[in-house]
Amino acid sequence: MTTTRSHASADIDETDIQTVIAQVEAEERDLVLQRFTHDDAWRLGCLLVELAAERNHAVTIDVRKGTQQVFHAAREGTTPDNDTWVDRKVRTVYRFGTSSYLQGLKARAKGQDFNHKHGLPFTEYVAHGGAFPIRVDGVGIVGVVTVSGLAQQDDHALVVEALHAYKG
């Protein structure tokens, strides 16, 4: 399976940040599903585990429908800290209605610290890539899919790749 990457570099040049923001916004507009059931959550989670296993990625994968955790897997090499990162990213998606990565990019583009700007504790919310809203056409956000363990842009890219494959 080929990898679709949202962006290739860990360090986004400040002049390119608006381009990356536009790309992530387009991903969020394009990756809208027709439905999302518990079985769909399970299949999406399993697809992410397969992709991670193929690449030997030490990641934690989490899929939620509403506030219910429907799928959770931690690959070898992860720690309980990955679970706390998942929870913090998920809170960010539900609070702001966009991917955790987009929130971080927008704050960075304005030269702001996400947590300070919104008065949110870092122990509860993070604007680091890896949590993506699951939207259903005509309904809105019905869940969140999250990956934790790689560099934030790679967490985000893995989720986007899986959603493209799943939707495809």
Kindly write down the DSSP assignment for every residue of 95-131, as one continuous string.
Answer: HHSS-HHHHHHHHHHTT--HHHHHT--TTT----S-E
What are the tens digits of pLDDT across the range 114-149?
Answer: 999 999 999 999 999 999 999 999 999 999 999 999
What are the tens digits of pLDDT across the range 71-90?
Answer: 999 999 999 999 999 999 99
When pLDDT is cut at 50, 70 and 90, the band that residue 9 belongs to is: very low
The pLDDT of residue 13: 62
Question: pTM of the prediction?
Answer: 0.91
The pLDDT of residue 163: 98
Identity of residue 78: T
- Tell whether the model's pLDDT for residue 15 goes beyond 70: no
The pLDDT of residue 168: 87
CB-CB contact of 95 with 141 (8 Å): no
Tell me what the pLDDT averaged over the chain comes to.
Answer: 93
Rounded alpha-carbon distances, angstroms, from residue 104 to 5, 65, 92, 121 = 18, 23, 10, 15
Distance CA 91, CA 64 (A): 11
When pLDDT is cut at 50, 70 and 90, the band that residue 3 belongs to is: very low
Q: Which two tokens stand for residue 117?
A: 């700007």
- Tell whether the model's pLDDT for residue 14 goes beyond 80: no
**Of 78, 79, 46, nearest to 63 (Cα)?**
46
Distance CA 88, CA 76 (A): 21
Over residues 16-32, mean pLDDT: 97
Distance CA 165, CA 162 (A): 5
Strands 140-148 and 60-65: antiparallel
Residue positions counted in the chain: 168
Token pair 């495809």 in the structure block, residue: 168
Please name each of the domains of the chain with its CATH number: 15-167 (3.30.450.150)
The dihedrals phi and psi of 105, each to the nearest 5 degrees, come to -65, -45
Token pair 């990756």 in the structure block, residue: 31
When pLDDT is cut at 50, 70 and 90, the band that residue 152 belongs to is: very high
The pLDDT of residue 7: 39
**Of 104, 103, 64, nearest to 86 (Cα)?**
64
- Tell whether the model's pLDDT for residue 6 goes beyond 90: no
